[in-house]
Amino acid sequence: MENFPDFNHNQIIYSISEVAQSIKRMVEDRFGRVTLRGEISGWKVASSGHVYFRLKDDSACIDAVCWKGSVGKFTFKPEDGLEVVATGKLTTYPGKSSYQIVVDSMQPAGAGALMALLEKRRKALEEEGLFAASRKKKLPFMPQVVGVITSPTGAVIRDILHRISERYPVHVLVFPVAVQGEGAAEQIANAITFFNSPDLDTRIPKPDLLIVARGGGSIEDLWAFNEEIVVRAAAASRIPLISAVGHETDTTLIDHASDMRAPTPTAAAEIAIPVLSELLLAVKQLGLRHDAAILRLVTQRSEQLQGMSRGLPKPVQLLQTASQRLDDWGERLQGILPAFLSRKEQQLIMLAGHLKPQSLQLEIAKKQERLLELQSRLQVGVARNIEARTEKFANLASLLESVNYKKILARGFALVKSADGKLVTTVLEAKNHNELAIIFSDGETLVSLKPEA
């Protein structure tokens, strides 16, 4: 007879589901809500929006799940390697015979963890070249429209608007955003992208400069400005951007990607907008310098002209010589034509003695025709020669007239001479004389410099 195992028919047999549910109730009743500290590993976002990951320490790990509704409440962006403090309900997952924590809230495990994450992210973005100095754009000297991205309430926007109105009132466009908490990073990035839209001019004026501002706070409060989406939007902005986040000692990643970092929001307004009164003073000073330069130039040119005029002959003498030469040429030209005709006539008579009567008449007719032609050409040539020399004479006369010092006097200048007729050009020379002659365009007058005894 075969041996069969002896079954105890009084033993209770459980189903797997019953055991799994019993363990689930025991774990949930025993632990309930717990707070765990550990490092995130295997962070994965499912298509449903739920997140699955693990929390681990030096010797153990636990599976974790965070439902979609709870993920949006996080004030930071979790990622692998970040040490966090997670709170949730400890339970089991019968489908895998494993225990897990359903996380409903989570915070970085102190500032040290956030600083480590911040440094890791900074190095990664820096290696991409987002912080390179070559990407920085020059701020406009005098922007006409300034876009401000900040919270619509609080002291920051009031300080910026007040400081701009004090310095140089310009058109300010305020894009209200949340500056901390859920969705703050996405709102800030969307605001920067909006101002850079190509079709923005069809709706509102496009800013010449952007200011992203927020007041001071802890690293957790300022974390939205360390998010990658904000940093990339700032680096991609085609409009010059000033970051003014926190106080002077606060540094966020948007400060590295912006074109200029301001220590405070008020300082950002001072960097962006010049002072109107200072601009007016600078323009006035430039105008004075311009006037002084023009006066010096006129004085120098006047002195140069006076110096050159002393080396030129008197215009009257020059014109008299040219006029005499013109008369001489005119008389000589008038005597050329009769002498020429006389010579041709003698040549014709001589040739006529060698010709037959019929051929002589024909030859005479040809010579007469040729003579008339030459006479006409000579007259034209003489007239052109006289006209050219007359024009040259007129040009010389005009040139002499243009350098005539009396023309300068007619424009309001004057010549100063001493009693002995020497030109006085400086104040020092003038002080050496008791009496000076001031020559104007219409005459001369004497001026006494020292009072009579």
Check pLDDT > 70 for residue 256. yes
- Look at residue 4 and give its three-state secondary structure: coil
Q: How much is the mean pLDDT over the chain? A: 83
Going by C-beta distance under 8 Å and a sequence separation of 6 or more, which residues neighbour residue 180? 75, 214, 217, 221, 222, 223, 224
Q: What are phi and psi of 167, to 5 degrees?
A: -85, -60
Helices (H), 311-426: 315-352, 357-402, 405-410
Q: Cα separation of 418 and 446, whole Å?
A: 10
Tokens linked to 146 = 């300034």
Higher model confidence: residue 215 or residue 81?
Answer: 215
pLDDT of residue 1: 45
pLDDT of residue 149: 93
pLDDT of residue 358: 66
Tokens linked to 304 = 């140069």
Cβ atoms of 79 and 39 within 8 Å: the answer is: no
The separation between the first and the last C-alpha atoms of the chain, rounded to the nearest angstrom, is: 168
Tokens linked to 178 = 């949340």
Strands of 177-255, DSSP E: 209-214, 241-245
Beta-bridge partner residues of 148: 174, 211
Cβ atoms of 70 and 105 within 8 Å: the answer is: yes
By percentage, how much of the chain surpasses pLDDT 90? 17
Q: Cα separation of 385 and 158, whole Å?
A: 86
Helix (H) / strand (E) element for 215: namely none
Higher model confidence: residue 359 or residue 52?
Answer: 52
DSSP structural state of residue 447: E
Q: What are phi and psi of 183, to 5 degrees?
A: 75, 0
pLDDT of residue 80: 82
For residues 96-105, average pLDDT: 84
Check pLDDT > 60 for residue 6. no
Q: Cα separation of 198 and 366, whole Å?
A: 89
Higher model confidence: residue 451 or residue 171?
Answer: 171
Q: Cα separation of 77 and 61, whole Å?
A: 21
Check pLDDT > 50 for residue 453. no
Residues 47-82 as b or e (16 or more Cβ within 10 Å = b): eeeebebbbeeeeeebbbbbeeebbeebebbbeeeb
Higher model confidence: residue 342 or residue 195?
Answer: 195
Helices (H), 97-154: 111-127
Alpha carbon separation from 325 to 321, 322, 332, 352, 389 (Å, rounded): 6, 5, 11, 41, 10
Confidence tier at 110 by pLDDT (50, 70, 90) = low
DSSP structural state of residue 391: H
Beta-bridge partner residues of 89: 33, 102
Lowest mean pLDDT among 187-196, 210-219, 222-231, 357-366: 357-366
Sign of the CA dihedral 243, 248, 252, 258? positive
Cβ atoms of 43 and 51 within 8 Å: the answer is: yes
Higher model confidence: residue 312 or residue 204?
Answer: 204
Q: Cα separation of 15 and 52, whole Å?
A: 29
pLDDT digits (tens, 9 = 90+) for 119-177: 888 888 888 888 888 989 999 988 999 999 999 888 899 999 988 888 888 899 999 99
Q: Cα separation of 49 and 441, whole Å?
A: 96
pLDDT of residue 243: 93
Lowest mean pLDDT among 64-73, 295-304, 328-337, 420-429: 328-337
Alpha carbon separation from 355 to 299, 341, 364, 449 (Å, rounded): 80, 21, 10, 94
pLDDT of residue 58: 81
pLDDT digits (tens, 9 = 90+) for 8-37: 556 777 777 777 777 778 777 777 788 888
For residues 438-448, average pLDDT: 82
Cβ atoms of 148 and 272 within 8 Å: the answer is: no
Sign of the CA dihedral 398, 404, 406, 408? positive
Check pLDDT > 80 for residue 441. no
Q: What are phi and psi of 209, to 5 degrees?
A: -155, 145
Check pLDDT > 90 for residue 192. yes
Q: Dihedral through CA 264, CA 266, CA 270, CA 271, nearest 10? A: 30
Q: Cα separation of 235 and 197, whole Å?
A: 15
pLDDT digits (tens, 9 = 90+) for 261-304: 999 999 999 988 887 777 778 888 888 899 888 888 888 888 88
Higher model confidence: residue 64 or residue 404?
Answer: 64
pLDDT digits (tens, 9 = 90+) for 210-247: 999 998 887 778 888 988 899 999 999 999 999 999 88
pTM over 0.75: no
By percentage, how much of the chain surpasses pLDDT 70? 91
